[in-house]
């Protein structure tokens, strides 16, 4: 499809994200968009890692290919599972932190763990995340509820760490009963709040969308391309592509376009990147497997 804007030839592109990077594909090749979590994807044995499986789309079997995996990145599910594991580890760290503080009172010894909230593993991760707006956006995938939960960690986390010097002061003054009371109070309040936030964060991450399937077609070939999110359909001047200088002159990378609204430099990719669309018949042909399936 070609359109004319103020007399200049333009080409509409579907802009999408893979990780933090923006990419685009010719709209002419796009048939429809599907939500991955609503689809039943049947895995195919013996296929490349980026081939997620096949779906039945109105009677036609279509190969689903994960663009993240094709680019050597973890899938969104793998990324989300890793984040859940990380949250659980942070929660366990703080359970052990309060137990170690209690042990230091019991044995009248120095508290061995980090006192400052920004010094523990979670504190370092959290401070770095809040300082990186792009990283925060990638992690939350623009989910408002998860952004809200992450913003609520700071208060209970700081209050929990703040009891360590107070407990130490009480122990030095021989007030071990008051020190233990302070710890028990923190368990019922700050630690409880913190653990509940970790549980809520895990639940939200578990329910995060797992991607969008862009169904593409060229000739008699079709495929479903799993991307993180679809941003927009935008017109760009057909003569405005910035050339690339890859040494192998990869045909799948058609060039770059500059989005003045977002200041993004977007890679425009062609279907030759994906299995089944290259000019040469590959060792793996998704259409052959789909027909056999």
99-136 pLDDT, tens digit per residue, is 999 999 999 999 999 999 999 999 999 999 999 988 88
pLDDT for position 286:
58
pLDDT band per the 50, 70, 90 thresholds, residue 281:
very low
pLDDT in tens, 130-189: 999 888 887 887 788 999 999 999 999 999 999 999 999 999 999 999 999 999 999 999
Indicate the class that CATH gives domain 77-206. Answer: mainly alpha
pLDDT band per the 50, 70, 90 thresholds, residue 84:
very high
- For residues 205 and 224, give the distance between their C-alpha atoms in angstroms, rounded to a whole number: 24
pLDDT in tens, 10-66: 789 999 999 878 999 999 999 999 998 889 999 988 899 999 999 999 999 999 999
- For residues 130 and 125, give the distance between their C-alpha atoms in angstroms, rounded to a whole number: 9
Q: Which residues are CB-neighbours of 229 under 8 A, at least 6 positions away?
A: 16, 17, 141, 142, 209, 211, 212
147-150 long-range contacts, Cβ below 8 Å, gap at least 24? 149/197, 149/200, 149/201, 149/204, 150/126, 150/201
Region 262-270: mean pLDDT is: 90
pLDDT for position 37:
85
Give the 3-state DSSP-derived string for 205-256, with helices as H, strands as E and coil as C: HHCCCCCEEEEEEECCEEEEEEECEEEEEEEEECCCCECCCCCCCCCCEEEE
What DSSP state is assigned to residue 242? Answer: B
pLDDT for position 101:
97
pLDDT band per the 50, 70, 90 thresholds, residue 288:
low
The residue with greater pLDDT, 103 or 277, is 103
Region 78-95: mean pLDDT is: 96
pLDDT for position 239:
72
pLDDT in tens, 197-246: 999 999 999 887 778 999 999 999 999 999 998 999 999 887 767 766 64
Overall fold of domain 3-74+211-292: OB fold (Dihydrolipoamide Acetyltransferase, E2P) (2.40.50)
> Taking the domains of the chain in order of start, what are their residue ranges?
3-74+211-292, 77-206
Instruction: Look up tokens 């700081």; give the residue.
Output: 158
Cβ proximity of 274 and 23 under 8 Å: no
pLDDT band per the 50, 70, 90 thresholds, residue 275:
confident
Query: Model's pTM, two decimal places?
Result: 0.76
- By residue count, the chain amounts to 293
pLDDT for position 202:
96
Region 87-106: mean pLDDT is: 97
Cβ proximity of 60 and 220 under 8 Å: no
Nearest Cα to Cα of residue 33 among 209, 225, 272, 277: 225
**Residue 181 to residues 113, 168, 171: CA-CA distances in angstroms?**
20, 13, 12
- CA distance from start to end of the chain: 34
pLDDT band per the 50, 70, 90 thresholds, residue 4:
very low
Q: Is the pLDDT confidence value at 247 over 80?
A: no
């Amino acid at each position: 499809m070609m359109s004319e804007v103020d007399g200049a030839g333009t080409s509409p592109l579907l802009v999408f994200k893979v990780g933090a990077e923006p990419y685009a594909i010719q709209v002419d090749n796009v048939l429809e968009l599907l939500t991955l979590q609503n689809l039943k994807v049947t895995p195919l044995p013996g296929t490349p890692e980026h081939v997620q499986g096949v779906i039945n789309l109105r009677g036609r079997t279509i190969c689903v290919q994960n663009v993240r995996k094709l680019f050597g990145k973890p899938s969104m599910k793998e990324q989300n599972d890793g984040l859940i594991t990380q949250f659980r580890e942070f929660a366990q760290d703080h359970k052990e932190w309060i137990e170690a503080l209690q042990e230091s009172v019991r044995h009248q010894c120095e508290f061995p763990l980090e006192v400052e909230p920004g010094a523990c593993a979670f504190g370092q991760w959290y401070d770095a995340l809040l300082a990186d707006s792009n990283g925060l956006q990638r992690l939350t995938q623009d989910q408002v509820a998860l952004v809200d939960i992450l913003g609520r960690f700071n208060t209970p986390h700081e209050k929990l760490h703040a009891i360590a010097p107070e407990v130490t002061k009480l122990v030095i003054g021989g007030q071990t009963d008051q020190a233990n009371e302070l710890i028990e109070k923190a368990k019922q309040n700050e630690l409880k709040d913190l653990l509940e936030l970790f549980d809520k964060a895990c639940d939200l991450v578990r329910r995060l969308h797992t991607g969008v399937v862009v169904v593409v077609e060229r000739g008699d070939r079709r495929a479903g391309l799993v991307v993180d999110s679809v941003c927009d359909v935008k017109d760009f001047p057909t003569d405005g592509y910035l050339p690339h200088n890859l040494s192998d002159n990869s045909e799948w990378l058609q060039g770059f376009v500059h989005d003045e609204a977002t200041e993004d430099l977007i890679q425009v990719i062609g279907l030759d990147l994906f299995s089944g669309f290259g000019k040469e018949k590959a060792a793996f042909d998704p259409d052959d497997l789909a027909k056999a399936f």
